[in-house]
Structure 1
Amino acid sequence: MKCPKCGNENCSIINETTTKGKDFSAGKGCLGALLLGPLGILCGGCGKGKQTMNINYWVCNKCGYKWKM
């Protein structure tokens, strides 16, 4: 693989991980505990949850330019 910016052939692959969303909502857990008792704490885990995305990039070891595969 050649760098599109400088033409160097010394490039490597990196993996970039990003996360979106929440794991546990303390507000929902407290409200659920007030309304439903101890089982209501589980309401804090309700919802969409975390989403993880992995994106692979090539990086030029000479100029540092980063591009998608």
Structure 2
Amino acid sequence: MACPNCGSENIQVVSESKGFGAGKGCCGFIIFGWVGLLCGLCGMGKSKIKRVCANCGNVMD
């Protein structure tokens, strides 16, 4: 696989994982109380894999 930006084949695979969503948890607490605080846990632990060109930094989802 080659980078569509620079044509390099020096591609790295990077995995991102989500943590606790403080913004969602805070808004949930204000609206729904303690149960809403658990809204910040929605999506926690899900990972997303991206390919990044090591030469130019182009990110390919």
Given the two structures, how large is their TM-score scaled by the length of structure 2? 0.61
Question: Number of aligned pairs?
Answer: 52
In the alignment, is residue 61 of structure 1 matched against residue 54 of structure 2?
yes
Percent identical: 25
1:6-21 aligned within 5 A: 6-19=6-19, 20=21, 21=24
**After TM superposition, which residue ranges in structure 1, 4 or more long, deviate above 3 angstroms?**
23-26
Pick aligned residue for 1:22 from 14, 20, 25: 25
Structure 2 residue ranges without an equivalent (≥5): none
C-alpha RMSD of matched pairs (Å):
2.8
Structure 1 residue ranges without an equivalent (≥5): 29-43
Given the two structures, how large is their TM-score scaled by the length of structure 1? 0.55
CA distance, structure 1, for counterparts of residue 50 and residue 57 of structure 2: 12
If you compute each CA radius of gyration, which structure gives the higher value, 1 or 2? 1
